[in-house]
Structure 1
Amino acid sequence: MGTESHGASREGRGEAPTRIRVTGAGEYEISVGRGLLGEVAAELGDRVNKVLIVHTPTVGRLADELRTELQRHYAQVLLAEVPDAEAAKRVEVAAFCWQILGQADFTRSDAIVGLGGGAVTDLAGFVAATWLRGVKLVQMPTTVLGMVDAAVGGKTGINTAEGKNLVGSFYAPHAVICDTDLLRTLPKNEILAGFAEVAKYGFIAEPEILDTIERDVDRATDPTTPEFLRLVELSIGVKARVVSEDFREGGLREILNYGHTLGHAIEHAERYQWRHGVAISIGMMYAAELGRMAGALSDAAVERHRRVLSLLGLPLSYPAERWPGLLATMQRDKKARAGMLRFIVLDEIAKPRVLAGVDESVLQFAYQEIAA
C-alpha cells in the first residue's frame, strides 16, 4: 500500500529507529524507537528560523528540555502551554497559539512542534495548517494514542459545541517522531486507554496484534518490552498504509473509523471528560454486534472483541437510556452522508467494510446488546 519501513530498533538507546514512510499526498517519515529527542532538530532542518512548541502542562519539563535542545539550532524557540486533553481542542486555544505566532512574527519559513497527546497533535496540526495557510509541522506524540493514531495521517481539528472534530483540515506533517521512552512514565490506565486504538488495528488489519495481547497482555502493554514496540510499529504501519492510499478519507481511510461513530457520540455525551480509547472500546463492541446482525461477523469474532478489550481493562457497555441522545449526535457526525449513518463493520477479523443505510430499529437492537 505505498509505505516503506527500514532500520529496526528493538532494545535500548543508540539503535537506529524504525522509519515508516507515508507516501501519496504529502510524503513524510515516521520514526519509531527510543531516545529520539535529538531527532526533532534533524527533521526541522537548518532553514527554519523560529520554532513554537505547543505542549500541555503534563509535559512541561519535557518541553523545557526540547526547547533547550532546539535553542542550539534556532534563533527563537517559544513555548505555548495549552490545556490537557480535549480542553485543548477549542477555537479559543487555537486563537491563543495564533496570537503567539503573530506577536513573534512567524513566517512560512518557521515551524511548529506538537508535543503531547492526541488532542495536542490535533491542535498543533490545525494551527500549523491555518497559520499563513501552512507552516512546517513536526509532531512528537507523548501518548500511545498520539503515536498510533492522532499524530499520523494529517487529520487536524478542533471541537465545537455541536460535535467532535467538525472544524479541521487535512494537513500532512513534515515528520512524526515516536519516542517510546516518553511512555515509560505514563499511568497504566492511560496506556491501556491508548491500546483501544492498537486493538482496533488488530481487528481491522493485523491479527498479530490481537494474538500478542491475548498471549501476554502485561508484556504487550509494557513500554519497556520488545512486544510493546512491535505493536506500536504494527499499528503505525497500518495507518501509514491506509493514509498513503487515501489521504482525504475518500474511501479506504474510512476503515480507521472502526468503533468511532458511536465512540465519538459517547465522548460528546460525556462532555469530552472520558479518555478517547475508553469510548472507542464501547464503540468497537457496538460495531461488532452490528456486524453480527448484518449477517457476517461470527459469534466467535464478537467474543474475541469482548476478550481482548476486557484484557485491556476497557469498558464494553453504556447505559441503555442514553440511546436517543447518542443517535441524535451520530446523525450530526461528519461521517454521515446526506443524513445517512455509515458504520465500519467486519465481515471477519481483518476484513472491514462500510455499512450504510441501516434501519434505526436495527441500530437500536444492536445497542441493546451492549447496553448496561
Structure 2
Amino acid sequence: MKKTILSALSPLAFLAASCGSQAQPEPAGEQAKEQAGAVEQRDGFAITDLARFDSPWALAFLPGRPDVLVTERTGALKLWRPGGKAVVVAGTPKVDAGGQGGLGDVAVAPDFARSGLVYLTWAEAGPGDTRGAALGRARLVLDKGAPRLENLTVIWRQVPKVSGRGHFGHRIAFAPDGQSLFLSSGERQKFTPAQDMGTNLGKILHLTLDGQPAPGNPFAAQGGLAAQVWTLGHRNPLGLQFDAQGRLWDLEHGPAGGDELNLLEPGKNYGWPLVSDGDNYDGTPIPRNATRPDLAAPAISWNPVIAPGDFVFYSGKAFPQWRGQALIAALGAAGIVRVGIESGPGGRPVGKELERIDLGTRIREIREAGDGTLWILEDGENARLRRLAPR
C-alpha cells in the first residue's frame, strides 16, 4: 500500500487543528460579498476589487474574524478588513528588500485562537554583501489600539547567507495535525547547495513549531542542518501545500523552462541542478528528468514556463467542479492555471493541465476563503487584492 507523506508524522496527522468551538463571525468571503459589489464580469467570474497594495507577496485569513493579513515585499505587514482601508501592523522585522527579497510569507498558527501567533518569513542582511531568508513568529495584538506584533522571535535561518537577491523560497505550510511545519528554502541561485547536505538551501524542511528539526526526519541521523531536511534538490519553491489526502506538494520555478509541481516524499531528491525539464539561461543544456530514474520526477512540468507564484488545492463549494484540483497563481501565464491530479504508472500522481484562466495580469498569490471564493493578489506596485466568485 502506498504511504502518504504523513506516515512519518504523528497518528493525529489527518486531524486538522481546532481553533475553538465558540461562535465565529462570518468568514472573510461572506463579509466581502455583503460589503462590496462586483466590478467586473469575466470568463464566468464576478470579480470584486477589494484593496490595493505595494508589491504584495502573501495573504492569510484570520480565523473567526473578517480580517486579512497581507505582506508587502518592501517590508510592511498590513491588516485589511472588508469595507475599510488597510492599516500597517507595527513590530515587523527589518527586511533586506530588493530583487526577489523582502517580506515574504505570512501564516496563522494552528492554535491562533488561543495563542494569537503568526509566522512570517523575510530576507535579512548578513555580513558584507550577503543575505538569507529567516522565519519568525510573533503574537498579533488586535484589541489594544493599532495592530502590532509582540515578541517577534527568529526561529530559523538559511545557512549560509550568500550574495545575490534571488531564490529565497520561504513558503510555510503547517502539517495537518498542527504539530509541526514545513518550509521551502530556495538555493539562492547558487545551484550546488541544493545537493549539499551541509546547507539548508535548496531543500524542503520539516520543523517543530519553534523552528527545531522535527522528530523522525529522514536525515536526522546525520545531525546538523541535515536533520532539518525533508527533501532536497529544489531550485526556487514558491508554493507549498497539503492536499485533501494529507500529501505535501511544492511548486517551483525552473530555469529557462522546467517549472514543476512535485509530490514531496520524505528523503527523496528532486534533482536540481542535476536534471531539469528546462535549460540554463545561457543556453547550456541540462539533462532531462527522464534520464535519471533514481531521482524524483515532477508530477507535471512546463516548458515554456508559467512562472508560478503560490497555489491551492481547491476544496470549496463555490466552484464544486474544481474540488481536488491545483489552482496555480501564475506570473508568466498572467492568470490561474488549473491542474488535475490523476493516477499514473505505479499509482504515482500525475498532473494534467486543464485550463488557463486569463486575468490579464501577473498573479502572485491565491487563497481559498471560507465560502469557497478565490482571493488573489496581483504582482507589482499598486497591485489589486481581488475576489473571484461564480458569475
The structure whose residues are more often strand, as a share, is: 2
Pick the TM interval, shorter chain: under 0.3
TM-score normalized with structure 1 length: 0.27
